[in-house]
Amino acid sequence: MIEKALKGSPRYFGALMVFLAVMGIGGGFYLIQLNNGLLITGLSRDVSWGFYIAQFTYMVGVAASAVMLVLPYYFHHYKAYSKMIIMGEFLAIAAVIMCLGFIVIDIGQPQRMLNVLINSTPRSVLFWDMVVLNGYLILNAVIGWTSLMAYWKRVSPPTWVKPLVYTSIIWAFSIHTVTAFLYAGLPGRHFWLTAILAARFLSSAFCSGPAILLLLTLLAKRLTGFDPGKEAVKTLSTTITYAMCVNVFFFFLEVFTAFYSNMPGHMDPILFLFSGFEGHTYMTPFMWTASFLAIASLVLLIPYKWRYNPDVLVPALIMLVIGTWIDKGMGLIAAGFTPNPFEKVTEYLPTGPEIMIALMVYALGGLVLTILWKIALEVRAEVEGSL
């Protein structure tokens, strides 16, 4: 089955080449980082996690989002997702690979990363994050590949896949919950020290992840003619809309708690994000853009007539993805560290090399995803006679 990745149109190989080229350029910057250390990043003593960890957090959400298809398909036998399910599982594989990549590029001593296994420390949430991420990668790889293989051979999937599928549904919730616990259990980081953080992570994941999946599927439809089915697009866009409503609602819960209680520790990071703190306003344009995009996407998605119109759906999804990305991929980490334990602001913005190295990981994900989707679509074309 894997040989299907080796034959393809010039456009397919062109895409792979572009991904490889970006990986090569980013890889060059990563070599500089390996040789000189993380000083090439915008990180500091006060903001010790930044763009890399933020991208990791965002991609964990994308990985977890596959469950929004798997759950209705397997628990409720919702057959409309039958063509999309494999795409979701393969997107999850690519997303988890990116997550692991972002962690590797973030650590100061990557050659020692297996210390997390050798000196496994169950009291550290990072240890559990390693467990759940790798577990989810293995689960999705085994389930996705076995199901596709069975489909290709025109037999039903082996019975042992079923329990793995049910495990993966629960597991998907765990990967984003555990990732939220990385932050939520820290004293002195007020923005993260909130019981609703895991719930916010899941709600944001369940809108942004399926939105990315739907956008990529619609792109694949344009490029290859693969049709996920009208019903599947409709249902998935409805799921996205509900999840985004919950996401925005959860954010307002945070705002209420912080500002009605009037507790400075809770208000300061939110003020830093939206109005600046002690004159430092570098995050405010991003956060107001994110807020505007979030509201605008909801305005376009909530009326079902607009939502079911592809000409409105696609821009709305793009707005949603950018809005949630700014919120999680920039704001979440910066606000956790700002103001710092001395109630001061150390500004953080990613540097050029930092962005290039992150792009390397994104290109790796793009490469993996393109190959996996190519295989899935080829198999479908062969079995069904058409896409």
Partner 1 sequence: MQRSRRDFLKLAGVSALGLSAGTLGFLGEGAQAADALPTATDFAKPAKAKQWGMVIDTAKFDDALHKKCIDACHNYHNVPKIEGKQEIKWLWTEEFHGAFPTERPAFLADAQEHRKYLLLCNHCANPACTRVCPTKATFKNDEGLVMMDYHRCIGCRYCMAGCPYGARSFNFRDPGEFIAKDKLNLQYPHRTRGVVEKCTFCVEMLAQGKQPLCVQASGGAMVFGDLEDPKSEIRKVLKEKYAIRRNPSAGTEPSVFYIL
Query: Minimal distance in Å, beta carbon 331 to partner 1?
Result: 16
Binding mask 19-58 for partner 1 (x = CB under 8 A): -----------------xxxx-x-xxxx-xx---------
Query: Minimal distance in Å, beta carbon 31 to partner 1?
Result: 15
Interatomic CA distance for residues 67 and 313, integer angstroms:
21
Nearer to partner 1, 115 or 289 (CB): 115
Nearer to partner 1, 189 or 200 (CB): 189
When asked if residue 131 is in the footprint of partner 1 (CB under 8 A), the reply is no
When asked if residue 198 is in the footprint of partner 1 (CB under 8 A), the reply is no
Give DSSP secondary structure letters for 275-303: T-BTTB-TTHHHHHHHHHHHHHHHHHHSS
Token pair listed for 333? 């980490």
Nearer to partner 1, 67 or 184 (CB): 184
Query: Minimal distance in Å, beta carbon 37 to partner 1?
Result: 4
Tell me the three-class secondary structure of 15-53, residue by residue.
HHHHHHHHHHHHHHHHHHHHHHCHHHCCCCCCCCCCHHH
SS3 68: helix
Nearer to partner 1, 252 or 342 (CB): 342
Adjacent-strand bridge partners of 280: 277
Helices (H) and strands (E) in the chain, counts: 15, 0
Looking at this protein, which amino acid is placed at residue 341?
A: P
Nearer to partner 1, 197 or 213 (CB): 197
Interatomic CA distance for residues 223 and 373, integer angstroms:
12
When asked if residue 264 is in the footprint of partner 1 (CB under 8 A), the reply is yes
Residues 271-290 that bind partner 1 (CB under 8 A): none
Token pair listed for 135? 């577990």
When asked if residue 116 is in the footprint of partner 1 (CB under 8 A), the reply is yes
Query: Minimal distance in Å, beta carbon 259 to partner 1?
Result: 17
Of the candidates 113, 253, 255, 299, which one interacts with partner 1 according to CB under 8 A? Answer: 113
When asked if residue 170 is in the footprint of partner 1 (CB under 8 A), the reply is no
Nearer to partner 1, 28 or 37 (CB): 37
Considering only 184-192, 236-244, 276-284, 294-302, which stretch makes contact with partner 1 by CB under 8 A? Answer: 184-192
C-alpha triplet 18, 21, 27: angle, nearest 5°: 140
Query: Minimal distance in Å, beta carbon 112 to partner 1?
Result: 5
Q: Which of 198, 53, 152 is nearest to 378 (CA)?
A: 152
Q: Which of 76, 68, 331 is nearest to 210 (CA)?
A: 68
Give DSSP secondary structure letters for 234-263: HHHHHHHHHHHHHHHHHHHHHHHHHHHHT-
Residues 314-353 that bind partner 1 (CB under 8 A): 336-337, 340-344, 346
Of the candidates 107, 199, 245, 302, which one interacts with partner 1 according to CB under 8 A? Answer: 107
Q: Are 285 and 351 in contact (CB under 8 A)?
A: no
Adjacent-strand bridge partners of 277: 280
Looking at this protein, which amino acid is placed at residue 171?
A: W
When asked if residue 108 is in the footprint of partner 1 (CB under 8 A), the reply is yes
Write out the residues near partner 1 by the rule CB under 8 A: 36-39, 41, 43-46, 48-49, 103, 106-110, 112-113, 115-116, 118-119, 121, 123-127, 130, 182-183, 185-189, 264-265, 336-337, 340-344, 346
